[in-house]
Amino acid sequence: MAQASKKVITGRGQKARTYNMKGSVDEEEMLKVLLGPSGNLRAPTLKIGATLLVGWCEPAWLEFFGDS
């Protein structure tokens, strides 16, 4: 799912990381932040257009959706 996206935004608490999938991405590093302890994608996970949002990070989500 991540490889089919143009951008992946991962979050955990107040820390967010954005990956541009068009460039070179360290897959091992990205898997560490995408997968939770059960081995599944962290929750919540949303695919909106060409962007994949994984994990909760309020500042990143507000930036993506617009602060209302």
Q: Mean pLDDT throughout 43-62?
A: 95
pLDDT confidence of residue 2: 86
Position 67 pLDDT exceeds 80: no
pLDDT confidence of residue 68: 60
d(CA 32, CA 62): 23
Per-residue pLDDT tens digits for 2-44: 888 999 999 998 999 999 998 888 889 999 999 999 999 999 9
Q: Are 54 and 41 in contact (CB under 8 A)?
A: yes
pLDDT band at 62 (very low <50, low <70, confident <90, very high): very high
d(CA 1, CA 63): 22
